[in-house]
Amino acid sequence: MSRRSGTCLRCCLVFFAVISALGVCGPALYWRFKKTVGFPDSKTSSCPPCICDCPPPLSLLKIAPGLANLSVTDCGSNDPDLKTEMEKQFVDLLTEELKLQEAVAQEHAHHMNITLGEAKRVASQYQREAEKCNAATETCEEARERSEALLIRERKVTSLWEERARQLGYEGE
């Protein structure tokens, strides 16, 4: 049963692949075949070639003369800040860029130092809290050991008293 379904699945996949290929490549092959064989088309064979007496297309200069002047020599001439920026030399621009990068790096380092100081402060606070917790745990552990020792001693005393009471004739529960 599984062999039959596997064969059926393969056949379906091959069929789907062939149909997909024809769907993608079919129109291009059709038009190429039509051009090479040269079937006479009813539209093109009955229609004589067109004779067009149209005027030449308008040029950009005739439509908008101002758009053809693509020179931007006076661009920003009224802005003094832009004028001074454009007059700077390449070396000056690089120097200014390096100074800006140095300022950013210093600001970043300052921020990192502040963050590091805050982290150290919080870490020391956690360290103090951990030391307090450890001291309290040690105190509790010592108290537990003392109470355990007292309980053992009390049990010994209790068993001793019970033994003496039985020797004297006490019959308890």
Q: What pLDDT is attached to residue 48? A: 67
**Size of the chain, expressed as the number of residues it contains:** 173
**Stretch 164-172: mean pLDDT, rounded?**
86
CB neighbours of 165 closer than 8 A, spacing ≥ 6? 172
pTM, rounded to two decimals: 0.35
Q: What is the pLDDT of residues 67-118, one digit of tens each?
A: 655 555 566 567 777 777 777 777 788 888 999 999 999 999 999 999 999 9
Place of tokens 């006076």: 74
Q: What is the pLDDT of residues 5-32, one digit of tens each?
A: 888 889 999 999 999 988 888 888 888 8
Q: What is the pLDDT of residues 122-161, one digit of tens each?
A: 999 999 999 999 999 999 999 999 999 999 999 999 999 9
From residue 75, alpha-carbon distances to 72, 80, 83 in Å are: 5, 12, 9
Q: What is the pLDDT of residues 26-76, one digit of tens each?
A: 888 888 888 777 655 555 555 667 777 777 777 766 666 666 555 555 665
Q: What pLDDT is attached to residue 129? A: 94
Residues 118, 126 contacting (CB under 8 angstroms): no
Rounded-to-integer distance, Cα 140 and Cα 149, Å: 14
Q: What pLDDT is attached to residue 6? A: 84
